[in-house]
Every structure is written in structure tokens, then in C-alpha cells.
Chain A
């Protein structure tokens, strides 16, 4: 009971800090935009007003994308970690990102007509993510230790990036440019018109996750114990894979690969909340994940005038040492 109070308290505090971070994120850009302009951009939009135009077409989509990407990747990471019973799992280290990236590379670099469209890009990223997830799922049975799963994921990542490099060499300059821009990762690529579709996918993913809270709580005991408590393991694996692919594919398609968020945030959330109840963990990952990526993106915009820092570079700079930290903690 004391535990629940503590969790509620942390969640409420994060919920209170959340709008503050969002406000900073909105106002941090080089052009100053007043609060009234933000308000008008939503309620009485005037497209001839530059400030309102900036707010509506750039700041809001970027903010939403930062939240969706941070929260979605963290939730995907949490699902992977629970399914594989491995705190080192995550969409990036398990190669789910790589699968999506490979398919996007094929779309953008081969110039096949279908893939050039929006729908083509998203669906190819989703298919890539799902296929990579299936591959990892089929491999996991042969692996004895938690670290080897990580190694297989990273090897798969190297393998796909080799194919991507090959595609890059043999592609046209124009296609190469659009792919390179995508692969740097950015939260600014998304257009206002695409936001409703993204939010729809995002909300579906959250609802699906919330529906499997009970199986997730039992999976913490391991697959064997969970199945003896009435969980249909095969079915649950597929559901978790679909949700993970949904989040990862969607986010990778629009923002490019974003590393380590899905690994680091679920661990931070668990350490902060000190619980294995996935109802709280889902809420925590949504809040902390979006806050984390907003903060990263604020930092990027603060240093923007000095250096261009792709989001993927920043999350790797923070995330890679974090993995080493977890490894050391586990080995002790």
C-alpha cells in the first residue's frame, strides 16, 4: 500500500512537470513566439502571421512527434524487456529498428513507385520492424544468456547496415540525399497533415498495451510460469510483437532511427517506480519517455546555432554509456 502511494506520487509529479517541459520545448526555437500566438495558432489561425504559421506548421508537429516517439519507443522497449525477460532488450538493440530502416532504405533508394508514397514508407517500415521481430523471436529459443540476445540483435543491425551501404553506393544522388537526411533522425520531418494518422496509430498501440497488462505482469515470472498460470504464450508473443512493430515502424518511418531510448527509459522507469505492475509501468514509460525525448530535443535546439546535432546522435551519446552501466550493475 505504501508502494502504491509512492508510485502515484511520482506519476502525479511527472504529470505536473510534463506541461512545463512541453512549454519549454515549444518556445525554445530561434524565433520567439508568444503564448498568444500559440493560442491563436490553434483557435483562430491566421496563415499570414509568421509566428502563428511557425507554431502551427513546425512547433506543434515537432512537439507531438517528440512525445509520440519518446513514449512509443519506451513502451516498445518495456514490452520487449518483459517478453524476453531481459532488461537489455529494446527495439534498437534487438534490431527492430534495423529491420524498419532496411525496408525504408529499400523504399527510398530503389525508387520503386509504391514505396515513394507516404503509405508505402510507413507500411514498409512496419513490415521491416515486424519481420525483424519475428527473426529475433525465432532465435531467442536457441540462446542461453541474456547478453547473447543483445549480440544477435547488434549483429543483425550490422548486417542490415551493410545492405543499406550497398544500396547507398548503387543509388542515384537524389535518392541518396533523401535517405541520408532521413537516417540522421529528426523530429521535424513530420507534416501537420500526418499528425492525426500518427496519433491514431499511437493511441491504438497504447490501448493494446493496456489490454495485456495481466499477461505482462505474469510474464515477469518467465514464460514457463506464466503459461502455467493460464497465459497463452504463443498468442501473447505475437500480440507483443505486433504492438512493438507498430510503435517502432511508425516512429522509424517518420523520425528515422532513434537509438537507446527504448532501452534506457523502461529501466529508468522501473528503478524510479520500483514496481513490476505494468499498469503503472505503462503510465510511467509514456510520461518519462516523452519527457526524456522532449528534453533531448530542447538540448538539440539550444545548441542548434552552434552545431547541428541529429537526435539519433544525442540519444546514442546518452544511451550507450547507460547500457554499459546496466551491464556492470548486473555483473556485480
Chain B
């Protein structure tokens, strides 16, 4: 699915070197690391908003660097850490914007598109909010809407930047359940950055740990092991 080859990620100086890494479809990966370790930059390099300094990232063997804006929007969906809601934008219309890569110049959705929007809303469990204003929802409900919007985009890759940061404990668990369910049922490759180590350990999520400009895949670690991995010097 996503493959990193000798990729150097960063701005002027490389913040991170990823010599060889493959992320598989159907899996959820938790991206962990201290503040400033380059989690966001790592995600931005996959969307090529932060261009690679060297090397290459391919998604299904296609180099993302060469893809145009529309191709990219059909490949990667991105969820930001917080969706504050937008006045006068209903949840249904918000989700509908996720179909943008597939709609015509006027952005009008076909019946098939709307059916898909409704189907996703049912899967995520937000069908009751569809006609509500996005401003009127709670933080947890809004985050689910943001994820639904990204799924409506129908991409093989789903990236989330600290999606659990503003959620309470129950909502964090719902979020992780949904991500695992989506990855499994839709065979998506999901990467989310997080500081909620316990949450990921309890749910047996595979880690991508960023430390000292390099990257370590790890799973089945206990919390002390993981923390010592992240803290370890040199």
C-alpha cells in the first residue's frame, strides 16, 4: 500500500529518514513520538504538502509526488485534529463535500453519491445528525462527522492528525473502534498520530514510533517498553 523508499522528510534539514517502510491496507497504525519529533510532518509528507527532500513515497506503486490534485484527493483523505463546525453547514452537506473529487464542475451530487453519503453516516452512527447544523454538535460528534467526511471521500489511505486530542475517554474508545472497523471492512490503510499510548496498547494497535530522526515499527509492547523506546537517547 504506502511504501517509503529512502525518504528524507523535513524542511531544510531532514527531520526524519525512512529507508524502507511499508504500510499495509486493512491496518491501523498509531504514529507516536514526543512533541516536535515530526509526526505532523510525516503525515504532511504523505500528502506531499511537505515535499520530500530525497527518496520517494508510493501509494499502490504510484509515486504521490507526480499525482495531480484530483488524483491525490482520490487517494488520500485527511482528518484534522479538530473540526470546529461551520455555521449554516448541515452534517449532510458537510459529508457531501467529501464527494468533491468525483462530482462535476458545479459540485452537484448524484443519487448514487447521496446514497453513499447516507450509507457512511449509518456505518459511523451519525445518521441522526444528518440534518443538524455542524455547529450544534458536541466535540465527539463532530469528530465522528469529520471521519465520516473522510470516508465519503472513498480513498485507500486515511490519515488523521491527533484525532483523539480533544475527546473524552468514552469518545476516544469509540473513535478507535470505528477506525479499526473501517480498516477491516473497507481495507483502508489508516495512520493516526496520537499521544494516547494506553488507548493504543489496550486495543492492540501497531505503533510507528518516531525518535532521533528515525522510525521504528513496534507492536505488542507494554507501556514502559514503549515509553523507554520513545525516551531512549541516541
Residues on A with C-beta less than 8 A from B106 are 213-214, 279
Residues on B with C-beta less than 8 A from A39 are none
Q: Tell me the bound Cα distance from A71 to B87 in angstroms.
A: 23
User: Does A276 lie within 8 Å of B88, measured CB to CB?
Assistant: yes
B70 at interface by CB-CB < 8 Å: yes
Chain A-chain B contacts (Cβ-Cβ < 8 Å), number: 63
Residues on A with C-beta less than 8 A from B90 are 3
User: Which of A22-30, A177-185, A219-227 is the contact stretch?
Assistant: A219-227
B77 at interface by CB-CB < 8 Å: yes
Smallest beta-carbon distance A125→chain B, Å: 31
Smallest beta-carbon distance B59→chain A, Å: 14
Residues on B with C-beta less than 8 A from A270 are 87-88
B47 at interface by CB-CB < 8 Å: yes
B73 at interface by CB-CB < 8 Å: yes
From known contacts A211-B105, A214-B105, A228-B47, infer whether A221 and B97 are also in contact, taking CB-CB under 8 Å: yes
Interface of chain A residues 1 through 58 with chain B (CB within 8 A): 2-3
User: Does B100 lie within 8 Å of A229, measured CB to CB?
Assistant: yes
Q: Tell me the bound Cα distance from A224 to B44 in angstroms.
A: 11
From known contacts A228-B47, A230-B73, A276-B93, infer whether A221 and B86 are also in contact, taking CB-CB under 8 Å: yes
Output the nearest chain A residue to B103 by Cβ-Cβ distance: A214
Residues on A with C-beta less than 8 A from B86 are 220-221, 276
B42 at interface by CB-CB < 8 Å: no
A118 at interface by CB-CB < 8 Å: no
User: Does B80 lie within 8 Å of A232, measured CB to CB?
Assistant: no
Q: Tell me the bound Cα distance from A298 to B206 in angstroms.
A: 69
Q: Tell me the bound Cα distance from A165 to B78 in angstroms.
A: 51
Interface residues on A, range: 20 to 34
User: Does B88 lie within 8 Å of A230, measured CB to CB?
Assistant: no
Q: Tell me the bound Cα distance from A218 to B153 in angstroms.
A: 13
From known contacts A2-B131, A270-B87, A276-B86, infer whether A230 and B107 are also in contact, taking CB-CB under 8 Å: no
Output the nearest chain B residue to A2 by Cβ-Cβ distance: B131
From known contacts A220-B86, A221-B97, infer whether A228 and B78 are also in contact, taking CB-CB under 8 Å: yes
Q: Tell me the bound Cα distance from A3 to B142 in angstroms.
A: 21
A217 at interface by CB-CB < 8 Å: yes
Q: Tell me the bound Cα distance from A279 to B108 in angstroms.
A: 11
From known contacts A214-B103, A276-B89, infer whether A230 and B70 are also in contact, taking CB-CB under 8 Å: yes
Residues on B with C-beta less than 8 A from A224 are 49, 80
Residues on A with C-beta less than 8 A from B97 are 217-218, 220-221, 229
A110 at interface by CB-CB < 8 Å: no
A275 at interface by CB-CB < 8 Å: yes
B195 at interface by CB-CB < 8 Å: no
User: Does A229 lie within 8 Å of B101, measured CB to CB?
Assistant: yes
Most buried by B among A2, A217, A230, A275: A230
Residues on B with C-beta less than 8 A from A161 are none
A172 at interface by CB-CB < 8 Å: no
Smallest beta-carbon distance B133→chain A, Å: 8
B-side residues, CB < 8 A to A, are: 47, 49, 69-70, 72-74, 76-78, 80, 86-90, 93, 97-98, 100-101, 103, 105-107, 131, 153
A-B contact pairs, 9 of them (CB 8 A): A217-B97, A218-B107, A221-B86, A221-B97, A224-B49, A228-B47, A230-B101, A273-B88, A277-B93
A-side residues, CB < 8 A to B, are: 2-3, 211, 213-214, 217-218, 220-221, 224-225, 227-232, 270, 273-277, 279
Closest 3 CB pairs of A and B: A214-B107, A230-B73, A229-B100
